[in-house]
Every structure is written in structure tokens, then in C-alpha cells.
């Protein structure tokens, strides 16, 4: 095989053979194919696309580049969820223990935030003592004790994807739907879960800005999961406004605990329960306890406490708080018709809740608390949101991100997306 032949095949719009795909992924992982050659191939894929067979072959080749996890020692069925990311998207935190409380086993491999979208591991690390890095044996131990584990993926899981993702990030090829889908699904399939529910976000605060883009990505990922023998379902959900009222690491943990205690914002509760039911159904476990009941009777909270404790965390510890706050009030009376997710996410990032580079630290207490949601009546001078930061110097740039991010009018925005837009199955 020759890297140039593979590049030229896709450059000219032709289909890559299974042998070409297997060779180029293996050779790139071993360093035989250079970064500049793989970046050229990635650009050709971005411009000319891939068919279902090519994407499935590409995904399987990335899975074969590393280890594949096995949960057959567990006494029950595994089920997992993946979100494409958004602003205030803390759903994984209450969802994993909720599904565990209803009889499922949830091996959840998560990531860190980069840019305006938050990362699940950053949120959980605001809990004193909690550990994100676990060995496979430790993961199995936590699953046995709590029914759910949320942790970082090890280096041995789809290493080809880790290398290719970093390359795509600096070569303008992140937007390729075949490469996005294979990146997500190679890790999820290698994770070894028996069922998977995908939460594909749509809107300004999401990677997919339109419903059509999100539907194409969701369909591609559902096909990949199905072809790999994993029962896979996708929901398209709204990210044109933030999810819930808290945006920021410790702020979102606190809101997640509210949900587990039977309270919390209505949209967070609704989506958590809906995704939990989907996960249980996909795993063939929908005949047991209903997630809504598990939130009411305290069993979901019990599962949360077991999960956090099993990973070294103290579920009773006080969460970090930012040293400084700044309140933003309504400039006029009316209806909060629009609250842009991207603007709020960018503000939280500038306040210190996110990172610009992977190695940057985050401020656990930084972020935004929302006091009004789209459709709410507000009065002039009423608090709209509170900004949290460790240094007052961060407020000016955060305020700049919020310029034009909200509108007060006479009625709610008629173009506001429904919370759950569509459901995609095989």
C-alpha cells in the first residue's frame, strides 16, 4: 500500500477499499503515514464524503488500533449515553446513577471541556477527592458497587482516533460528518456497552447548527452502532438556549444534585428522564422501576452517592465557589424571548469555567447562573443572570460575550426549538 494512492483515490471522489482503510489507519497509528499525508486524506474525506461501508470500515479499523473493553463479568446489561456537547449540558451526572437505580449498568467514558462547551470530567472534579482516571479493574469494581461509573478513557482505547482527532483540530477538518461519527462511535463501540443512546444537540451552542446537519450525523452514528451489533438510538435535542439554569462546573454539579433530590429545572428533569427511559429500553430493561419514580423515592440519589464515594469523592463536601459575582439585570420589562446558548457558553468560558488549550486548568466555581428562561416574564431591574469568577478582571470580557445574546420583547421567540426534536432509530 501507498499513502499517496489512498489520498488520490478519495481526492478523485472514488470509494476507498477495505484494504486501503485498514492499511492507512494502522500505518498512521504506527507513524508510517505522516501527519501531512493524513491531513490531506482527511480534507479529501471532508470534501468528497464516505459511504456507509467506508465509514463502518474506518470506524472498525480505529477500534482495532487499540483495546476493546468487556463487561461480561457483570450480572446485568450495560447501557450508555453520549452527548455531542452543549451549554449547561450536565445530563450525564444525574442520568448515570438514575439508570443504575433502575437496574442498568452504565460504563460512561467522558471527556473534558474545550472552548464554550463544558466537560463532564471537569464538573465532577469539582467534588473533593473524586478521581477521573481509573483502571479497567477499578471501573469494574465501581460498576459492581454503584451500577454506574463516569471516568476518562484510557490511552489504549482507539488510539488511532486520539491521534487523528488532534490532527483534525488543527487542519480545518473537524466538520466532516463521517470523521465526527467514526470518532465518537469508535470509542463507544470499543467501550463494550451493549446499548447506546445518542443525544445529538442542535442550535447555536452545539456543534450541529441545523436540524438537517444533526439528523445526518445522528443517522450515520445509529447506522455505525447497528452495524457493530450495538443497539443504538439517537435523540435530536435543543441547544439554541442553555440547558437548565447553571452553566459552569460546580454550579452544574449542584443543579444535578437538585435533580437527583427530586427537584431541579423542568428541562433538565424532562431530558434526564427521557434519556433514562431510552437507555433502559435499548438494553431491554424497561419493565423495571421507572426513572421518574427513582428520582422521587431517593434510589437515584443513593446510587449517586455510591458512585461518587466509590471513585474517592466526598458527596457531602461543600462545592467550590467563585470569589466574585456580578449580577446582570433586565434593561426593560417584557418577555425574555431569546437567550443564546453560544453567548452564555462563551461568557462562562471567559469567566474561567472552560479552557482554551487542553492543558489549561479550569476554575471550578466560575460560570453563569440564569434567573430567567426564554418565555419568562421579566421586569426592568429584575436579575437575569449572575456571573461567577475568581477575578473581577474576567467580567468585562464575559459581558462582551453576552452583548446581543438575549432579547426582551413582547412574546416568546416562535422559532425556539422543542426540547426533543426527533428520534432516530435503525
92 to 109, 123, 156, 242, 268: CA distances (angstroms): 10, 10, 23, 15, 11
pLDDT digits 0-9 by tens, 92-114: 999 999 999 999 999 999 988 76
Instruction: Note whether 311 and 333 are same-domain residues.
Output: no
Q: Is the pLDDT of residue 22 over 80?
A: yes
Predicted confidence at residue 412, as pLDDT, reads 87
Q: Which CATH number belongs to the domain containing residue 29 in this structure?
A: 1.20.970.10
Burial of 154 (0-12, 13-18, 19+ CB in 10 A): middle
Predicted confidence at residue 112, as pLDDT, reads 83
426 falls within a domain? no
pLDDT digits 0-9 by tens, 219-270: 999 999 999 999 999 999 999 999 999 999 999 999 999 999 999 999 999 9
Instruction: Note whether 306 and 343 are same-domain residues.
Output: no
73 falls within a domain? no
**Angle 92-101/299-310 helices, nearest 10 degrees?**
110
Instruction: Note whether 218 and 113 are same-domain residues.
Output: yes
Domain end point (choices 251, 281, 316) = 316
Instruction: Note whether 119 and 155 are same-domain residues.
Output: yes
- Whether residue 110 contacts residue 151, with contact meaning beta carbons closer than 8 Å, is answered with yes
386 falls within a domain? yes
Grid coordinates of 248: 459552569
Instruction: Note whether 204 and 280 are same-domain residues.
Output: yes
Catalytic annotation present for 187:
yes
The structure's pTM equals 0.94
Domain end point (choices 283, 316, 349) = 316
Catalytic annotation present for 30:
no
59 falls within a domain? no
- Whether residue 212 contacts residue 176, with contact meaning beta carbons closer than 8 Å, is answered with no
Find the catalytic residue in 183, 186, 256, 363.
Answer: 183
- Whether residue 84 contacts residue 207, with contact meaning beta carbons closer than 8 Å, is answered with yes
Domain count, the chain: 3
Domain end point (choices 296, 316, 336) = 316
Find the catalytic residue in 187, 201, 274, 350.
Answer: 187
Closest to 345 (Cα-Cα) out of 5, 89, 21: 89
314 to 98, 124, 247, 305: CA distances (angstroms): 19, 11, 22, 8
Instruction: Note whether 228 and 291 are same-domain residues.
Output: yes
Instruction: Note whether 306 and 330 are same-domain residues.
Output: no
Find the catalytic residue in 89, 161, 267, 340.
Answer: 161
Find the catalytic residue in 81, 168, 201, 306.
Answer: 168
Instruction: Note whether 309 and 161 are same-domain residues.
Output: yes
224 falls within a domain? yes
Q: Is the pLDDT of residue 40 over 80?
A: yes
Instruction: Note whether 223 and 343 are same-domain residues.
Output: no
Predicted confidence at residue 24, as pLDDT, reads 97
Instruction: Note whether 199 and 341 are same-domain residues.
Output: no
Percent of the chain with pLDDT over 70: 100
Domain that holds residue 305: 80-316
Q: Which CATH number belongs to the domain containing residue 333 in this structure?
A: 3.90.1170.30
414 falls within a domain? no
Q: Is the pLDDT of residue 165 over 90?
A: no
65 falls within a domain? no
pLDDT digits 0-9 by tens, 375-400: 999 999 999 999 999 999 999 999 99
Instruction: Note whether 300 and 368 are same-domain residues.
Output: no
Q: Which CATH number belongs to the domain containing residue 217 in this structure?
A: 3.40.1030.10
Instruction: Note whether 41 and 172 are same-domain residues.
Output: no
Find the catalytic residue in 82, 90, 355, 394.
Answer: 82
280 falls within a domain? yes
Closest to 58 (Cα-Cα) out of 177, 232, 138: 177
For the chain, how are helix, strand and coil distributed in percent, rounded to 5?
45, 15, 40
Distance CA 368, CA 247 (A): 5
- Whether residue 40 contacts residue 6, with contact meaning beta carbons closer than 8 Å, is answered with no
For residue 167, how many C-alpha atoms fall within 13 Å in the half-sphere facing its CB?
Answer: 22
- DSSP E strand boundaries for 45-154: 80-83, 106-110, 148-152
Amino acid at each position: 500500500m501507498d499513502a499517496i494512492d489512498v489520498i488520490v483515490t478519495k481526492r478523485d471522489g472514488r470509494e476507498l477499499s477495505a484494504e486501503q482503510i485498514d492499511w492507512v489507519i494502522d500505518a498512521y497509528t504506527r507513524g508510517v503515514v505522516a501527519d501531512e499525508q493524513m491531513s490531506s486524506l482527511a480534507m479529501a474525506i471532508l470534501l468528497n464524503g464516505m459511504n456507509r461501508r467506508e465509514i463502518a470500515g474506518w470506524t472498525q479499523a480505529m477500534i482495532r488500533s487499540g483495546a476493546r473493553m468487556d463487561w461480561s463479568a457483570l450480572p446485568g446489561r450495560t447501557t450508555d449515553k453520549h452527548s455531542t456537547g452543549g451549554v449547561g449540558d450536565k445530563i450525564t451526572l444525574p442520568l448515570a446513577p438514575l439508570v443504575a437505580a433502575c437496574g442498568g449498568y452504565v460504563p460512561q467514558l467522558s471527556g473534558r471541556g474545550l472552548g464554550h462547551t463544558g466537560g463532564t470530567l471537569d464538573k465532577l472534579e469539582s467534588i473533593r477527592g473524586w478521581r477521573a482516571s481509573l483502571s479497567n479493574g477499578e471501573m469494574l469494581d465501581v460498576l459492581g458497587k454503584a451500577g454506574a461509573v463516569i471516568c476518562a478513557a484510557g490511552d489504549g482505547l482507539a488510539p488511532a482516533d486520539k491521534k487523528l482527532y488532534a490532527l483534525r483540530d488543527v487542519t480545518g477538518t473537524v466538520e466532516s460528518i463521517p470523521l465526527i461519527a467514526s470518532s465518537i462511535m469508535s470509542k463507544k463501540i470499543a467501550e463494550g456497552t451493549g446499548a447506546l443512546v445518542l443525544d445529538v444537540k442542535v442550535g447555536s451552542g452545539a456543534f450541529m447548527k441545523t436540524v438537517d446537519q444533526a439528523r445526518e450525523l445522528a443517522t450515520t452514528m445509529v447506522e455505525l452502532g447497528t452495524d457493530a451489533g450495538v443497539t443504538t438510538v439517537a435523540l435530536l435535542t435543543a441547544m439554541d438556549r442553555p440547558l437548565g439554569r447553571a452553566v459552569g462546573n460546580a454550579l452544574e454539579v449542584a443543579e444535578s444534585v437538585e435533580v437527583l433530590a427530586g427537584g431541579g429545572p423542568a428541562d433538565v428533569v424532562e431530558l434526564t428522564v427521557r434519556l433514562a427511559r431510552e437507555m433502559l429500553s435499548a438494553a431491554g430493561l424497561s419493565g423495571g422501576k421507572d426513572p421518574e419514580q427513582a428520582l422521587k423515592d431517593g434510589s437515584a440519589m443513593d446510587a449517586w452517592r455510591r458512585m461518587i464515594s466509590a471513585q474517592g469523592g466526598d458527596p457531602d463536601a461543600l462545592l467550590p465557589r467563585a470569589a466574585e459575582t456580578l449580577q446582570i439585570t433586565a434593561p426593560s420589562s417584557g418577555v425574555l424571548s431569546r437567550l443564546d446558548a453560544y453567548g452564555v457558553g462563551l461568557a462562562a468560558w471567559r469567566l474561567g469555567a472552560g479552557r482554551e488549550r487542553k492543558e489549561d486548568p479550569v476554575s471550578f466555581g466560575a460560570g453563569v447562573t440564569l434567573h430567567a428562561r426564554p418565555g419568562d416574564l421579566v421586569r426592568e431591574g429584575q436579575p437575569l443572570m449572575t456571573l461567577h469568577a475568581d477575578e473581577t478582571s474576567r467580567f468585562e470580557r464575559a459581558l462582551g460575550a453576552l452583548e446581543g445574546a438575549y432579547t426582551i420583547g413582547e412574546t416568546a421567540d416562535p422559532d425556539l426549538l422543542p426540547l426533543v426534536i426527533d428520534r432516530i432509530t435503525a
